[in-house]
Amino acid sequence: MTEREPRDPNDPVLPAVEEVREAELRGVEAGLGEVFEVPIGPIHPAMKEPIRLTFRVRGERIVGVEIRTGFAHRGIEFMGMRQGRNLIQVLYLSERICGICSVSHPIAFTQAVERAAGIEVPPRAQYIRVIISELERIHSHLLWAGVAAHELGFDTLLHLTWRVREKVLDILEELTGNRIDYAIPIFGGVRRDITPEQYPKVWEAIRYYRGLLEQLLDAFLRDPTVEARTRGVGVLEPKEAEELCAVGPTARASGLRKDVRQDRPYLAYPDFEVKAITPADYGLTPIGDVYDKIVVRLLEVGQSLDIIEKALMNMPEGEITSFPKIPALLAYLKKAEGEGLGWHEAPRGEVIHYVRLVSGDESLLVWKVKAPTYSNLLSWYPMFEDQEIADIPIIAACIDPCICCMDRVYVVRDGREETWTKEQLLKLSWEKTRRLRR
Amino acid sequence: MRAEQVLRALTASLGEKLRSYELRPLEVGVRQKRTVEEIWAEVAREAIPQAVAVLKGLGPLHISIISGHDAGETIELLYHLAVGFGTEGGEVMVTLRTFLPKSDPTVPSICGILPGAETTEREKIEFLGVDFPGIPRRDHVFLPDDLPVHPWRRDEPELEKFLHRMVEWEKGHDRKGTEGS
């Protein structure tokens, strides 16, 4: 492990390409050794998704990196704007931007449309959106923790984390009917209520995670191997995080108290008084390395449990949507005119959607989507600086990248000899949902 | 931070270059009501860096995204910025709107003031054919380097042809990308 020198405050956070090349040449002249190029990706065993990272290395040390993405670009915004889809169809399209954040994009998108069209969301529906979002945060953070353990070569911890993650996926399936792509938000409310029979199951899941959280903190944060592999690795200094506009746990691990739920709250979030979590809340001085990113994400699992608990205890009664009939909703949206912004703190950070509606047209005139990885992409440059090749996988993973989400692309691969059909998988899913409800 | 404070700073610095503005309060919360404020302002294109510098002087500045739209004779850009994160309800969302004539679709880059804007400016180069003089890197981020079209432009004569070619290419290939029989 090599720790890079703290950045001179007068230096730019992103040095120009020419300056990097000149520094390389000076190094060669000073006898530090030649610089070689090591391309990784777009398809590489260390990467879960397609992205090309071209590293410039001197020996084992990284002196520069070039990032190229877009290998899985689906053109979802184009599909939403230019191919005559109505807003309900675009809502389901927005859900497919990201499987893991599959409630985050619809929450931001519905808010943007609701603000543009002047639609109110009933209080109960706002609470349900919050509960599903926080359940999603728990499953996403546990998913990431498992991936991080795997990248460190600690597969026992990967399996422990992913085993305990199953519980929250079961609860999401119980409440929404699906493990991902929940289709919960709809313009003016939510599609499904949380019924009295479902409350005990959610409470049981909260108790389950409360009991496990300390064990997870212990396994990740008090383990000498994890500490040795993550302390001082992939550092993002606070100034870099601020200037490069990093979001979510990537920014908070550097000590920035930056959380959309706190800074510009939305839906029912003011009721929960969310405070942005940094490593300081665990008694550490934030330095923005991979270890700090683990701290923030694990503490946020506990924070999400608090929010869900409070939401269940204070759930308002009443309607779950202001438009129970879809044709009436579509007719209203067709007449609506205006523009709006919707935002949400997804597990990886800020998601933002901009929409513009024109009266008489049932599709969108303008739609812009921003996923968190889009904002965190530039943070990789300082994080990789002066690091070792062996640390590339964990540094790449530490921002919890979602490349297809940023590219807005959906890739389905079939590499098995035995192929399950969609119908077979759907049947299995129905059987499991029935088992859960017994 | 309050939206009035942000507006005062923008009007004092930009003068007539701030062409119009609107303050939109949003009521949020169920049991604890809060007001979140948004500012939507139209700014002359040459004044965009100045406006961003003013906002940066007010507190920590974050750029969410630049939205873009082909508005016929012009290209409309919307800079969605957030000023003053770090305190509860203390962030103001500011959207700066500017119009670029299609004959000269350029606007000064803000990367010198806010390096985090680089990805979104590069995306607008690819998708809308906008140029940002002063941007440190201008190569493609998302689309193939040799793509001859800007997909969000509505006056792209080549776009339909390009999409047609793509569909035809996919029809002739199997899922592994090799040419079919």
Tens-place pLDDT, residues B152-172? 888 876 677 777 776 776 666
Nearest to B63 among A78, A245, A354 (CB): A245
Q: Count of domains in chain A?
A: 2
What is the sign, positive or negative, of the torsion defined by CA atoms of A135, A138, A142, A145?
positive
Q: Which of residues 33-62 of B touch A (CB under 8 A)?
A: 33-34, 36, 38, 60, 62
pLDDT tens column, A330-361: 999 999 999 999 999 999 999 999 999 999 99
Same domain (yes/no): A300, A380: no
Q: Write phi, then psi, for A216 (nearest 5 degrees).
A: -65, -45
Is residue B180 very low, low, confident or very high in pLDDT (cuts 50, 70, 90)? very low
Residues of chain A with Cβ-Cβ distance to B75 below 8 Å are none
Give mean pLDDT in consecutive 10-residue pieces for chain A, a chain of 438 residues.
71 80 85 88 79 90 89 85 88 91 94 96 97 96 93 92 94 92 94 94 95 93 93 93 95 96 95 96 94 96 97 96 94 95 96 95 92 92 90 83 59 52 73 76
Buried b (16+ CB within 10 A) or exposed e, A402-421: bbbbbbbbeeeeeeeeeeee
Name the closest residue on chain A to residue B33, using Cα atoms. Answer: A270
Chain B residues inside the 8 Å CB shell of A127: 30
Task: Give the separation between CA A140 and CA B49, rounded to whole angstroms.
Answer: 37
- Range among B33-37, B142-146, B150-154 with highest mean pLDDT value: B33-37
**Superfamily for domain range B3-142:** NADH:ubiquinone oxidoreductase Nqo5 subunit (3.30.460.80)
User: Are the C-beta atoms of residues B89 and A348 closer than 8 Å to each other?
Assistant: no
DSSP state at residue B173: B
DSSP codes joined into one string, A265-321: --TTGGGGT-----GGGGT-----SHHHHHHHHHHHHHHHHHHHHHHHHTPPPS-SB
Residue A41 covered by a domain: yes
Does A194 share its domain with A48? no
- The reply to whether A409 falls in a domain is no
Backbone angles phi, psi at A375, to 5 degrees: -75, -30
- Which residues from A are below 8 Å from B122, CB to CB? none
Chain B residues in contact with A246 (beta carbon < 8 A): 116
Instruction: List, for residues A300-310, the tens digit of each pLDDT value.
Output: 999 999 999 99
Task: Give me the numbers of helices (H) and strands (E) for chain B, helices first please.
Answer: 4, 5
Kindly state whether residue A90 falls inside one of the protein's structural domains. Answer: yes
> Could you tell me if residue A434 is inside a domain?
no
Q: Are residues A87 and A40 in the same domain?
A: no
How far apart (Å, rounded) are the C-alpha atoms in residues A13 and A157?
A: 35
Q: Which of A73, A262, A356 sits opposite B143 (nearest CB)?
A: A73
Residue A426 in any domain: the answer is no
Rounded Cα–Cα distance for residues A251 and A376 (Å): 9
A263 to B30: CB separation less than 8 angstroms, yes or no: no
Please check whether residue B167 touches A, CB under 8 A: no
Interface membership of B164 toward A (CB under 8 Å): no
Phi, psi angles (nearest 5°) of residue B77: -115, 140
In a domain, A6, yes or no: no
Per-residue DSSP letter, A59: T
Q: What residue of A is the nearest CA neighbor of B66?
A: A368
CATH of the domain at A300: 1.10.645.10
Which residues of B fall within a CB distance of 8 Å from A354? 65, 67, 78, 80
Q: Give the orientation angle of helix A104-117 with respect to helix A123-151, to 10 degrees.
A: 150
A126 by Cβ neighbours in 10 Å (0-12 / 13-18 / 19+) ranks as buried
pLDDT value at B102 more than 60: yes
**Chain B residues with CB-CB distance to A268 below 8 A:** 28-31
List Cβ neighbours of A210 (8 Å cut-off, separation of 6 or more): A305
Q: Could you state, in order of their start, the residue ranges of all structural domains in chain B?
A: 3-142, 148-181
Does residue A83 share a domain with residue A21?
no
Going by their DSSP bridges, the two strands B34-43 and B92-101 should be labelled as parallel
CA angle B123, A365, B62 (to 5 degrees): 40
Six token digits for residue A2:
């090599």
Interchain proximity A264–B93, CB inside 8 Å: yes
Residues A140 and A88 in one domain: yes
CB count, 10 Å around CB of B174? 10
Residue pair B123/B141 in contact by the 8 Å Cβ criterion:
yes
- Tell me which residue in A17, A256, A377 faces B119 most closely, judged by beta carbons: A377
CATH code where residue A41 lies: 3.30.390
| Cα gap B153→A119, rounded to integer Å | 30
Q: What type of residue sits at position A44?
A: H
DSSP collapsed to 3 states, B65-108: EEEEEECCCEEEEEEEEEECCCCCCCCEEEEEEEEEECCCCECC
Taking an 8 Å cut-off on Cβ atoms, the answer to whether B116 and A268 are in contact is no
User: Could you tell me if A49 and A151 lie in one domain?
Assistant: no
The reply to whether B19 touches chain A by the CB within 8 Å rule is no
Q: Which candidate from B141, B151, B175 shows the least CB-CB separation from A75?
A: B151
The two three-digit tokens of residue A306, written as one number = 């608090």
Whether residue A430 is contained in a domain is answered as no
Contact call for B31 and A343, based on CB within 8 A? no
- Selecting from B38, B85, B114 the residue whose C-beta is nearest the C-beta of A243 gives B114
CB B45 within 8 A of CB B99: yes
Decide if A276 and B86 are in contact by the 8 Å CB cutoff.
yes
A140-158 b/e with 16+ CB inside 10 Å = b?
bbbbbbbbbbbbbebeebb
Say whether A366 sits in a helix, a strand or coil: strand
The answer on A151 and A106 residing in a single domain is yes
Same domain, A110 and A51: no
Q: What's this model's pTM, rounded to 2 decimal places?
A: 0.91
* Residue listed under structure tokens 């906002």: B55
Please report whether residue A225 resides in a domain.
yes
Q: Write down the residue that tokens 């007719």 correspond to.
A: A331
Comparison of pLDDT for A166 and B181, the residue scoring more: A166
Contacts of A115 in chain B (CB under 8 A): 26
Q: Estimate the share of chain B in helix, then strand, then coil, as percent rounded to the nearest 5.
A: 30, 30, 40
Sheet holding B61-70, edge to edge: B18-28, B34-43, B92-101, B74-83, B61-70
CA distance A330 to chain B (A): 24
Check residue A399 and report its DSSP letter: T
- Cβ-Cβ contacts under 8 Å, B84 against chain A: 263
Nearest CB partner across the interface for B85, out of A258, A271, A366: A258
Residue with tokens 């934030």: A286
Minimal Cα distance from A403: which residue of B?
A: B142
- Secondary element (H or E) of residue A107: helix A104-117
Residues of B in Cβ contact (< 8 Å) with A340: none
**What domain range includes position A41?**
17-70+376-398
Q: Are A126 and A45 part of one and the same domain? A: no
**pLDDT at residue A407 in the model:** 60
Alpha-carbon gap: B105 to the closest alpha carbon of chain A (Å):
19
Residues A348 and A386 in one domain: no
pLDDT at A231: 94
Who among A242, A245, A354 is closest to B78 (CB)? A354
Q: Are residues A65 and A141 in the same domain?
A: no
Task: Inform me whether the C-beta atom of residue B119 falls under 8 Å from chain A C-beta atoms.
Answer: yes
Same domain, A59 and A151: no
Say whether residue B145 is in contact with chain A using an 8 A CB cutoff. Answer: no
Of B36, B67, B115, the CB nearest to A368: B67
Cα–Cα distance, A216 to A302 (Å, whole number): 11
